[in-house]
């Protein structure tokens, strides 16, 4: 009895827990797909990619030096003082909208909406994307609405400028318009909604990209428009 | 050897052990009694056998080098260094155009940043009267210091770009759909942490670029209604960017945020394993 390993003797075959479970013993979406072992197929690709990345990084580091300006001087404000490039879209909006809207409200909304993208179902998938777009576009219009408010009640307009009330009013109006829009039978076609969602998200990415580019290459002293060759 | 009585003399025991190695048997001819050179290929393979059979080697590499498909599938599970990988992966998913390797590249860039960052810490002192001088020294005095700093800087920019592109890729492939919703949220948090790491690192050289970029950035936080000035005060450790800000950003940059992003990454990868590679599906 001891001479035969347990698994090889059919009379004494030991069953694992999975042997008693109905169905395929894995939660893979398609158990019958064409698979290869990760080692070496995936691991070799990872090493190759890491090596190429490191080589590229070394070459770039030999060719281009990281910027180092003069010692920090609180008394000497550079003009313009630019944020890191990935925050330039926010700084560009700071040019149009009050700081709370462009620097706090929109980034906060972006993070919340980004996080909830997978949880919006059916036609509601349009909501987060539209919020993202509205969060970028409405503050750009904020200046116009504020100017109108200023012509009616200058004192109130000046006192509340930094909170960006016009943006909030426009957001509420946009939310009602969006509600009407979402009731339209246009959105019953799931495939069409998917395509529209992709287009809207790409528009959002495009707007952020353009704002970063403008901030990086087209803004000079006093945040004035400057052509790169000027 | 086992049929001989156990040797009591230490010297004998050492020489017996040496004579019982594959390499020694090979050199002294074994059965045919012919002596052979240490420069032959056979000696090298005998020596390799001895090393692979030795206790220390086997304690590190518990299994022999994988040779068969079965070994290949087992090593992904049994090896600590590979255990984040699944044993098998869809051939479709391996194609470059499916993922562009962006997530893996982001992880690789983080490893480069960790190593170069630790090396920079050997030279850098986070004090307002020291930091800038250390930077200049690193550029001109420290051997290869300029390359070290360049690598850290460019890898940091690259990581923000690569992580953003990774997110775009996942969105376009709709890989955030069930059952991967939670991992999308973790990814958004990791993107935020990446930007915060980059932003806190921005101040450390203590040059004009650093000082005013952080001043602009923290002024935005100061504009929150009611609590803004308090938030800004906590971020800066005072009314303006100064020594208190530098040490806060330094500790965030080298301890708090790297720890947070490491834990987030491990969870992100673990979830990828649990939910399965999307591979565009």
Overall average pLDDT of the A106-134 stretch: 85
Overall average pLDDT of the B216-222 stretch: 83
Peptide bond into A80 cis (omega under 30): yes
Mean pLDDT, chain B, rounded, equals: 88
Q: Which range, A127-136, B55-64, B230-239, is most confident?
A: B230-239
pTM passes above 0.90: no
Which residues of chain B neighbour A38 with C-beta distances below 8 Å? 76, 82, 85-89
Q: Would an 8 Å CB–CB cutoff place B220 in contact with chain A?
A: yes
Residue B249 tokens, joined: 């950003």
Peptide bond into A40 cis (omega under 30): yes
Overall average pLDDT of the B163-168 stretch: 96
Q: Would an 8 Å CB–CB cutoff place A115 in contact with chain B?
A: yes
Q: Domain coordinates of chain A in residue numbers? A: 85-223
pLDDT at res. B37: 79
CB atoms within 10 A of CB A161: 17
Tally the residues of chain B: 281
User: Is the backbone of residue B40 left (phi > 0), alpha (psi -120 to 50) or beta?
Assistant: beta
Q: Return the higher-pLDDT residue of A131 and A63.
A: A63
Distance from CA of B154 to the nearest CA of A (A): 7
Chain B contact probe: residue of A60, A71, A78, A102 with most B CBs at under 10 A: A71
CA atoms within 13 A on the CB side of B166: 20
% helix, strand, coil for chain B, step of 5: 65, 0, 30
Give the three-class secondary structure for B88: strand
Structural domains in chain B? 1-59 (no CATH), 63-94 (no CATH), 95-275 (1.20.810.10)
Contact between A142 and A170 (Cβ < 8 Å): yes
pLDDT at A4 > cutoff 70? no
> Which residue of chain A has the CA closest to B224?
A100
Question: What are the C-alpha distances in Å from B203 to residues A9, A72, A87?
Answer: 69, 10, 14
Chain B contact probe: residue of A26, A37, A41, A213 with most B CBs at under 10 A: A37
CA distance A103 to A116: 21
Q: Do A118 and B176 touch (CB under 8 A)?
A: yes
Instruction: Say which of A41, A60, A94 has its CB closest to residue B94.
Output: A41
Q: Do B185 and A115 touch (CB under 8 A)?
A: yes
> How many CB pairs lie under 8 A apart between chains A and B?
190
Contact between B42 and A3 (Cβ < 8 Å): no
| Nearest CA-CA partner of A147 in A111, A96, A105 | A96
pLDDT at B20 > cutoff 70? yes
Chain A contact probe: residue of B223, B249, B277 with most A CBs at under 10 A: B223
| Nearest CA-CA partner of B123 in B133, B112, B115, B114 | B133
pLDDT at res. A1: 43
Query: What is the biggest distance separating any 2 CA atoms in chain B, rounded to whole angstroms?
Result: 93
């Amino acid at each position: 009895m001891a001479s035969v390993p347990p698994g090889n003797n059919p009379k004494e075959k030991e069953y694992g827990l999975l042997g008693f479970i109905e169905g395929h013993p894995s939660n893979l979406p398609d158990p019958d797909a064409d698979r290869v072992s990760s080692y070496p197929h995936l691991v070799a690709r990872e090493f190759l990619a890491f090596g190429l990345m490191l080589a590229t990084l070394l070459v770039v580091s030999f060719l281009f030096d990281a910027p180092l300006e003069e010692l920090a001087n609180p008394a000497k404000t550079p003009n313009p003082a630019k944020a890191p490039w990935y925050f330039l879209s926010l700084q560009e909006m700071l040019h149009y909208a009050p700081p709370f809207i462009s620097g706090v409200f929109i980034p906060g909304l972006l993070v919340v909406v980004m996080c909830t993208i997978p949880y919006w179902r059916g036609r509601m998938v349009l909501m987060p994307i539209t919020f993202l777009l509205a969060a970028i576009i409405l503050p750009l219009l904020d200046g116009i609405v504020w100017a109108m408010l200023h012509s009616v009640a200058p004192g109130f307009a000046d006192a509340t400028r930094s909170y960006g009330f016009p943006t909030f009013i426009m957001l509420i109006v946009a939310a009602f318009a969006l509600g009407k829009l979402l009731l339209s039978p246009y959105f019953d076609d799931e495939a069409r909604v998917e395509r529209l969602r992709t287009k809207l998200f790409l528009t959002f990415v495009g707007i952020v990209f353009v704002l970063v580019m403008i901030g990086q290459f087209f803004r000079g002293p006093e945040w004035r428009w400057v052509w790169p060759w000027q | 050897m086992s049929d001989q009585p156990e040797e009591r003399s230490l010297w004998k025991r050492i020489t017996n052990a040496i004579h019982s190695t594959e390499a020694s048997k090979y050199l002294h001819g074994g059965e045919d009694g012919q002596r052979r050179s240490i420069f032959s290929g056979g000696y090298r393979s005998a020596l390799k056998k001895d090393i692979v059979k030795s206790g220390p080697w086997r304690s590190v590499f518990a299994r022999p080098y994988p040779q068969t498909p079965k070994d290949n599938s087992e090593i992904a599970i049994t090896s600590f260094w590979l255990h984040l990988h699944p044993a098998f992966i869809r051939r479709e998913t391996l194609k470059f155009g499916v993922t562009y390797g962006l997530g893996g590249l982001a992880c690789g860039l983080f490893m480069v940043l960790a190593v170069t960052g630790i090396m920079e810490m050997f030279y850098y002192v986070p004090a307002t009267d020291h930091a800038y001088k250390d930077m200049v020294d690193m550029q001109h005095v420290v051997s290869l210091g300029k390359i070290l700093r360049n690598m850290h800087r460019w890898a940091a920019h690259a990581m923000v770009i690569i992580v953003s592109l990774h997110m775009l890729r996942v969105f376009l492939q709709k890989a955030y759909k069930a059952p991967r919703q939670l991992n999308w949220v973790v990814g958004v948090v990791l993107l935020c942490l990446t930007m915060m790491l980059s932003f806190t690192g921005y101040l450390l050289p203590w040059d004009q670029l650093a000082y005013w970029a952080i001043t602009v950035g923290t002024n935005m936080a100061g504009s929150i209604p009611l609590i803004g000035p308090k938030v800004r005060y906590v971020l800066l450790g005072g009314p303006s960017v100064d020594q208190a800000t530098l040490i806060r950003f330094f500790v965030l940059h080298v301890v708090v945020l790297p720890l947070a992003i490491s834990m987030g990454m491990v969870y992100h990868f673990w979830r990828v394993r649990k939910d399965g590679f999307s591979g565009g599906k």
